[in-house]
Structure 1
Amino acid sequence: MTSSSRTKPSLEGVASAGRALTVLSAFRRGDDAVSLAELAERTGLVKSTIMRLTLTLEEHGFISALPDGSYRLGAELFRLGSLYQQSFRVEAHVMPALEALVAETGESAAFYVADRQKRLCLFRVDSPHPLRLHVRQGDRLPMDGSSIAQVLRLFGAVPLPPEAVRTPVPFYTAAANDPHSASMATPVFGPGSHFAGALCLTGPITRFTRKAADAATPVLLRVAADLTKSMGGTPVSELATSLRLTRTG
C-alpha cells in the first residue's frame, strides 16, 4: 500500500469531522431548534451533506432530529460538558440541590436528562440508608413509565406543549420499572424557559410510599424552584403565566 493511499482516507475523515463540527457550531444561543434550511444558510453546506452528517451526529447523541424535520443539540454534548469542567455551571448548582434533598428527605436524589431514547443519570447523591437503589452517575436507563421518564418526555418536548405547564407536579410512581422501587420527579428549567432536566427522589417502595412522597413534595418543589432560579430559569409554578405572556405579547 502506498503512502498516498494510506493518507487519503485520513484526510477525507478529517474533512468530514470538520464539516460535522461546522454543523454543531451553527447552533446559537437561544435556538430551540434549527431547520435544515437554516443550517444550510449558516454553514454554507448543501442540504444533502448536512443530512448525511446529522444522521451520524444523531447516532452518537450530539443532535436530535425532531418530527418536523428540524434539529436540536443532543444530550451527549451536555454529558461531555460536565466531564470537561468539574466546576461546570450546571453541576455547581445541581449538586448542592441534591445534597439538600437527601439531607431533608433521607432518600436518594438525582438529576436526569434525556439521551438517545434513554434517561441519563447525570448527577446523583445517595441516601444514607443501607437499603437504597443502586444507580450511578452516567447510567443510562429505559424511558419507561417511571416518574422520571414521564417528566423527560412531557417537558422535554419542543416547543413546550400547553398541557405540560397545566399538569400538576411532581409525578410519583411505584413499581414502574422495578417492583421494589418508587420515584418522584419534577422539571427544572434554565434560561429562556428551556427544560434542563428532571430532579427526582428515589427509594425502596416499602419506605418511599405515596404518603412519604406526599410529605416530601413541598421539599422537592422548593428545591426545584430554587435550582431553576439559580440556573436563570422560571419555576414550573410560574411558567404558565410566563409562556402565556410571551405568546400573546
Structure 2
Amino acid sequence: MTTLTRPKASLEGVASAGRALTLLSAFRKGDDAVSLAELTARTGLVKTTIMRLAISMEEHGYLIRLPDGSYRLGAELFRLGSVYQQSFRVEAHVMPALEKLVAATGESASFYVRSGQQRLCLYRVDSPHPLRLHVRQGDMRPMDDSAIAQVLRFFETIPLSAAAAATQLPLYTGGASDPHIAGMATPVFGPGESFAGALCLTGPVTRFDRKAAQDAADILLRVAADLTRSLGGRPQGPR
C-alpha cells in the first residue's frame, strides 16, 4: 500500500507579503498622501511592483489611490488598530493605573510595549503641568537608552526570575533620549509571568530629577504591582 505524504511546509516567508508589508511600513507619522516616487525611494521597490501591490491592497482597504496617483492609508488599518487595542485587553486596567500615577506625582504616565525596533506608547495620561513631554497614544519612539526602552529590551529577552534578580527597579534615566527629559520605568506582567509592558513616569529633568524620582519610586512600584495582579500576573517584590 502506498502512503501519500505531504511535503513539509516551508518556514520561509512569502516574498510578495514581505514587499506589501514594506510598502505599508513606508508611511510615516504626519503623512497625508505619499507619491509613487517617494514610496519608491523609501522602500527600494520599483514603481511597477508598488503599483501591482497597491491594486490588491486597495481591494482590501489597506491603501487608497488618489486621482493624482499618490497613495493614502486605508480605513482597514484603523480597524485593525482598534482590534489590536481591544485584543490586548488591558486598557480598562491600565488607564486607571496611569491616572493614579499622575494624581500622585504630577508627572505624565504611560504604558509602552515594544514594536520591532521601536517602542509604542499604547496608553498615556498627561501631566497637568504645561511643561511636559508631548507624546500621544500610538506614537512610536526609538529603542534608545531611556529607562522605558531598557525595561522593554531587558524583560522581553531574559526570563523573569533572572531579570528580576539582576535589576534594580524602577529604572531611572535623565537625558537619555532628550537632554531635557527624564523617565522612570518598571515592568508589568501578565499570566504565567508573561511580560506585558513598561509602566513609566516622564517629566522635564529640571522637575523630575533623581530626588523627585526617588520620592515617586514607591508609588510607581505599588501601582505596577497592582496592575500586574489585575492582569493575572504575580508581582515581583521591590528591588
Are 1:172 and 1:182, in contact at CA under 8 Å, matched by a contact in 2? yes
Q: 1:192 to 1:53 in 2, by over 3 A?
A: farther
Task: Report what 2:205 is aligned to.
Answer: 205
* Structure 1 residues without counterparts, runs of 5 or longer: 1-43, 62-78, 241-249
CA distance in 2, matches of 1:172, 1:202: 10
Residue 46 in structure 1 maps to residue 8 in structure 2: yes
Task: Report what 2:155 is aligned to.
Answer: 155
Q: 1:51 to 1:199 in 2, by over 3 A?
A: same
CA distance in 2, matches of 1:185, 1:101: 12
* More helix by percentage: 1
Q: TM-score, normalised by structure 2?
A: 0.67
CA distance in 1, matches of 2:188, 2:86: 20
3-state SS of 1:96 partner? helix
CA distance in 2, matches of 1:201, 1:88: 21
Are 2:144 and 2:176, in contact at CA under 8 Å, matched by a contact in 1? yes
Task: Report what 1:128 is aligned to.
Answer: 128
**Mapping for residues 86-101 of structure 1, pairs under 5 Å:** 89-101=89-101
Cα displacement (A) at 1:87: 9.2
Q: 1:225 to 1:193 in 2, by over 3 A?
A: same
Paired residue type of 2:101: L
Cα displacement (A) at 1:134: 0.2
Cα displacement (A) at 1:220: 0.1
Cα displacement (A) at 1:160: 4.0
CA distance in 2, matches of 1:93, 1:149: 22
Task: Report what 2:222 is aligned to.
Answer: 222
Task: Report what 1:65 is aligned to.
Answer: none
Cα displacement (A) at 1:165: 3.4
Q: How many residues align?
A: 178
Q: 1:125 to 1:87 in 2, by over 3 A?
A: farther
Cα displacement (A) at 1:213: 0.2
3-state SS of 1:237 partner? coil
Cα displacement (A) at 1:237: 1.6
Cα displacement (A) at 1:140: 0.7
Paired residue type of 1:135: V
Task: Report what 1:166 is aligned to.
Answer: 166
1:188-216 CA-partner distances (Å, limit 9, x unpaired): 00000000000000000100000000000
Cα displacement (A) at 1:168: 1.4
1:211-240 CA-partner distances (Å, limit 9, x unpaired): 0000000100000000000000011228x9
Cα displacement (A) at 1:81: 7.2
3-state SS of 2:237 partner? helix
Are 2:155 and 2:163, in contact at CA under 8 Å, matched by a contact in 1? no
**Mapping for residues 60-99 of structure 1, pairs under 5 Å:** 83-84=82-83, 89-99=89-99
Residue 232 in structure 1 maps to residue 232 in structure 2: yes
Are 2:111 and 2:121, in contact at CA under 8 Å, matched by a contact in 1? yes
Task: Report what 1:66 is aligned to.
Answer: none
CA distance in 2, matches of 1:97, 1:141: 22
CA distance in 2, matches of 1:184, 1:198: 10
Are 1:82 and 1:88, in contact at CA under 8 Å, matched by a contact in 2? no
What is the identity percentage for the equivalent residue pairs of Structure 1 and Structure 2?
Answer: 62
Q: TM-score, normalised by structure 1?
A: 0.64
3-state SS of 1:148 partner? helix
* Structure 2 residues without counterparts, runs of 5 or longer: 1-5, 26-77
CA distance in 2, matches of 1:87, 1:95: 16
Task: Report what 2:106 is aligned to.
Answer: 106
